[in-house]
A and B are shown apart, each in its own frame.
Chain A
Amino acid sequence: MLMISPRMSSGMQEKQFTACLLNFFVYNPTFGPREGEEEKKILFYHPSDVEKNEKIRNVGLCEAIVQFTRTFCPTKPAKSLHTQKNRQFFFEPEENFWMVMVVRNPMIEKPNKDGKPPTIEYQEEEILDTVYGAVVKQCYSMYKLFNGTFSRAMDAGGVELLTQKLEKFFYRYLQTLHLQSCDLLDVFGGISFFPLDKMTYLKIQSFVNRVEENLSLIKYTAFLYNDQLIWSGLEQDDMRILYKYLTTSLFPRHSEPELAGRDSPLRPEVAGNLLHYGRFLTGPPNLKDPEAKFRFPKIFVSAEDGHEELHLIVYKAMSAAACFMVNASVDMTREFCEQLDGLVGPQLTLLASDICEQFTVNRRISGPEKEPQFKFIYFNHMNLAEKSTIHMRKTASVCLTSVHPDLMKILGDINCDFARVDEDEEIIVKAMTDYWVVGKKSDQRELYVILNQKNANLIEVNEEVKRLCATQFNNIFFLD
């Protein structure tokens, strides 16, 4: 006879909970300076159903912490607060406007005997400040990309307009934050570039010139293949956040139709009556539809006199995507869109298959895919170029990595160590799991390598990384 104790069956196992978003709020301490008016300070609060006094309390704590740290350095107040249960990240993107993100520490729930409530153990040192500090900044950049600054909203419609905009934007955006999969790449906020030969690159450049010449309304253009950038006319910081939006939000939502054709690009003539594969990812899904609306998302990018507002037109053919930006004061019409579709569609389809051909050639040259002895992340602060063989393709929901989260955190630690001193450094560590992790900083470049050979010694590790640098990075890292 099999007896199952009720305790056993009710699951005596420990339950693991990952880090998650507890609160996210925006406040301005100057909006409710008097006692009893504290609620007026709060411009946005997530989750919205939190009781009013609780909101006021939480905002009050942030204010107190910031004020307290000003005792010791008036110009550099607190950036984060660590407590047993959570971490709070403070960011003042515009004067007196504070954004705060509260992240619950990962925790383990351990069941207790005799019906006692389970013991909860918080893992207080799992969250990296640099990573989540960067996430908060990213939140602001993303808001600003689509709404402009907080003070712009204030000027246009006062607190009321600002709270509306915050509500509208963050309600959706916060749902797309996947805090448990944030890592070093969020700190870099880099851009992955597509490596191209000169000829193809020139083809793309002349394509961009041609389009901008023919459609003079277009102010800026950016060109991407898959999730990689090839050409951009935008300022670096604007491109960085636009890139983030495109690759983590817009493209993943529209990826399916391309899947079929990516590896066997069909030329328009082969495709019979179909002239090209081009289509709008923003704006009208189907130009032939008489009901089609010609509305495009508006974005704000930096300009000499502050910011300029633009229509964002994203047009894609197979794996190639072109972003065209047009001054927002101009109304977008059917004529313009048809003109663009007619001009860009066929050319972009051609370019896409050219690039694809080169892509496959490149792959063939580099030889059959063998599980490499190492995985790496590279980032260049000067051009924001980033390369990772650790991360799989990004999707809308998660950014999958192929290594243990603890190793990713060690990379984050090494990144913090590099920030301590402004000089070239190399750090090699051996983790408790015997993995070797190597970090190199040279000039503005950082390289992080995780090696698979557990029994290697320091000298072998060094040799391996030297080889990697020679083959992948043209020996740009000099130290030893």
Chain B
Amino acid sequence: MDTDNDQEGETQGVKICGPPLEVNTAADTLATSLSLLGNHMFPDVVARKAAREDERAQDVPEEPPQDTEGSLSLQATEPESQEHQDDVADGTQSDSGEFVVTVLAKAKLEEQGLGVKGHSSPLLEVGIQESPPAAHGGSHRDEDVTAESWRRHRKHIFVLSEAGKPIYSRYGSEEALSSTMGVMMALVSFVQSGDNNIRSVYSEEHTVVFLQKGPLVLVCVSSSRQSEQQLRSELLYVYYQIISMLTQASISRIFEHKKNYDLRRLLAGSEKILDGLLDLMDSDPSFLLTAVHCLPLASSLRDSLSQILQKAITPNLVFSILIAKNQLLTVVQERAVIEDARLEPADIHLLLNLIGASSAFQAGEIWTPICLPLFNPDCYFYTYISYLDPPECTVCLLLLSTDKEAFYAVAECKRRIEEAMAAQGSLGLIAKAQTYSVSQVGVADLRHFMYKPFDVPDNHRQLTQFTSPEMEAPYHTEEEKMRLLDLYRYMHGRIHSNSRPLKLIYHVAERETLLAWVTSKFELYTCFSPLVTKACAITVITKLLRWIKKEEERLFIRYPPKYSTTPNPAKSSRGAKAEQTDSSDNGFLSLL
């Protein structure tokens, strides 16, 4: 019995904070699901011994972020993997004794009866012990779905399979909601049977938005008054987050083979990641703007960090990303890869959420497959994740490689980065870096803004970024923050309406005056005090644009550095930094 549980646990990755899935039926269903998935490995995930004292470990143990089915097959190397795992385990234990490594293909081995001996991963043991529902005290999953409080949630999200099987619900357990989700699926297929597609339902208080993506149906029930377009894009983020853990190809394959497959088997434990994503989307305008927020940093410091990343490379390394306080510090990209496709802000958002949603990553070094859905929804990158400043864990390094065997090489890169940063005292400097106050702009009447410059021809393919100051009084309470964000969302929805886009919106209300403005060079949302005159607002914007121009080196990653890790020395010269032409100022005065 124990072994069965172990097997299931390991194969599916994590079952820790998911609902108590038919644990006992493990053997049977597992066999089926495995046979479905065929010749693909299940990377066993993460695991760690440390951080048990972490509070979250008490009620919701950190689960590994994902539970994945590799898209690369691995027959030839399986036995080596086994050894590999042991090596790693031994080696690391002797080093620090507090981290674990994800071992790819372990599940595959188990499937063949090769794997699983005495030492299963500590995390999974924790998980199994804590998996009974009692462990989820206080979680939204326990909510009574017939209660008024459940109905009053601002935004419900449901994910279900085409067979109507629940996969995820933001509030309340999937079991309790299975009939509701059944109705949703029935509505979708009913409309479909009339050679039509359901899009949304409006009532006085709610907007219900449906999104069908492959074999998955995503439904949002929102009282937030966001536009349908915005709600649909949030559903798309949810879908992509699932893809980032499983890949699109494997999801289609699973459902092709078995229509009523219970995807929670593969996603168990990842509810927290989706929960985190939804909370983040409600509070972080990055998702709305599809742009990345960088931490303001002196350009010399940012350059030196970039250079450190640029030097610490190994073959097949594709992206080196450094983040602090959940904001981007710098990202260095493999030249050849970036010529094919560009790193989309959405992929970065999903990565950041994945890391932020689980304290498991704070435990040491993680090596795990992650799919960047906008980059390529069907394949994994092997991602090395490590915090550089334990125990605070604010500065995190991500190294993405295409080589699943590159753990050691990549870990070595991290060591070099760490050394170089120590030599330059970078961590101390990063710790001092902060978001800024709108008062630094130095104009009265301006309360807050969001500024998103568009790609300029010289550096197209650059990551879309935006800058925005802290929300300060009167937007310092959660409620007021949300109200301002809602106002921005409303302006954004109107100005980017699919059918009737606008160039400018000037909105005067009792509590504030807002302006949204889209030009070919930038997109700007500003919030003024309510009594500002139009003439004054225009002056403020003029000053604001000048200030941003002056500060742009600090606010944005101006010239994303590149490296070449493919053996092609001809291309390895430093990133050509085309001289930027100043353009943010051009002609805007006449437009307003």
Contacts and interface: CB of A to CB of B under 8 A. Distances in A.
Given A81-B198, A413-B500, A76 B592 contact: no
A426 B203 CA distance: 26
Nearest to A437: B502
Interface stretch (B67-75, B183-191, B382-390, B548-556): B183-191
A76 B204 CA distance: 6
Interface string B553-592: 0000000000000000000000000000000000000111
B204 A68 contact: no
Interface string B462-506: 000000000000000000000000000010001001111111111
Interface stretch (A83-91, A189-197, A231-239, A369-377): A83-91
Given A64-B183, A64-B190, A410-B500, A79 B202 contact: yes
A73 B191 CA distance: 23
A432 B196 contact: no
Contacts of B225: 420
Contacts of B502: 410, 429-432
B202 to A, nearest CB: 5
B147 interface: no
A269 interface: no
Interface stretch (B295-303, B425-433, B533-541): B533-541
Interface residues of B, number: 49
Interface string A53-76: 000010001001101110111001
Contacts of B203: 69, 72-73, 76-79
Interface centre among A71, A125, A410, A413 (most CB of B within 10 A): A71
Contacts of A431: 500, 502-503
Nearest to A434: B503
Contacts of B416: none
B78 to A, nearest CB: 47
Contact of B187 (A65, A72, A430): A65
A72 B171 CA distance: 12
B198 A126 contact: no
Nearest to B495: A429
A84 B196 contact: yes
B509 interface: yes
Contacts of A129: 202
A123 B498 CA distance: 10
Nearest to B206: A72
A124 B171 CA distance: 31
Interface string A357-400: 00000000000000000000000000000000000000000000
A430 B156 contact: no
A349 B494 CA distance: 52
A459 B201 contact: no
A83 B199 contact: yes
Given A82-B202, A83-B198, A125-B499, A428 B506 contact: yes
B184 to A, nearest CB: 7
A160 interface: no
A68 B183 contact: yes
Contact of B535 (A65, A78, A459): A459
Contacts of B535: 459
B195 to A, nearest CB: 8
Contacts of B534: 458-459, 462, 480
A427 interface: yes
Contacts of A427: 505-508
A85 B500 contact: no
B180 to A, nearest CB: 6
Nearest to A414: B494
Given A61-B191, A84-B199, A85-B196, A69 B507 contact: no
B39 to A, nearest CB: 38
Interface in A26-72: 57, 61, 64-65, 67-69, 71-72
B509 to A, nearest CB: 5
A425 interface: yes
Nearest to B225: A420
Contacts of A77: 203
A215 interface: no
B358 interface: no
Contacts of B194: 57
Pick from A126, A423, A457 the residue with the most CB of B within 10 Å. A457
Contact of A80 (B201, B498, B510): B201
Contacts of A458: 504, 506, 534, 537-538, 592
A129 B228 CA distance: 13
B191 A80 contact: no
A457 B500 contact: no
Given A64-B190, A421-B509, A459-B534, A69 B201 contact: yes
A443 interface: no
Contact of A429 (B506, B510, B592): B506
Contacts of A462: 534
Contacts of A79: 202-204
Given A61-B191, A69-B208, A480-B508, A413 B494 contact: yes
Nearest to B499: A125
Nearest to A462: B534
B205 interface: yes
Contact of A428 (B208, B500, B505, B538): B505
A82 B151 contact: no
B474 to A, nearest CB: 16
A12 interface: no
A38 B202 CA distance: 25
Contacts of B590: 457
A425 B509 CA distance: 5
Nearest to A424: B510
B196 A61 contact: no
Contacts of A84: 196-197, 199
Contacts of A85: 196-197
B107 interface: no
B366 interface: no
Contacts of B200: 81-82
Interface in A446-480: 457-459, 462, 479-480
A428 B198 CA distance: 33
Q: Which 3 A-B pairs have the closest CB atoms?
A: A125-B499, A426-B508, A430-B504
14 contacts: A64-B190, A68-B208, A73-B151, A76-B204, A79-B204, A81-B202, A83-B196, A410-B502, A421-B509, A427-B508, A431-B500, A431-B502, A432-B503, A480-B534
Interface of B: 151, 156, 180, 183-184, 186-187, 190-191, 194, 196-206, 208, 221, 225, 228, 490, 494, 497-510, 533-535, 537-538, 590-592
Given A78-B201, A79-B202, A432-B501, 12 more contacts: A64-B190, A76-B205, A78-B203, A79-B203, A82-B199, A82-B200, A428-B504, A428-B507, A429-B504, A430-B503, A432-B503, A458-B538
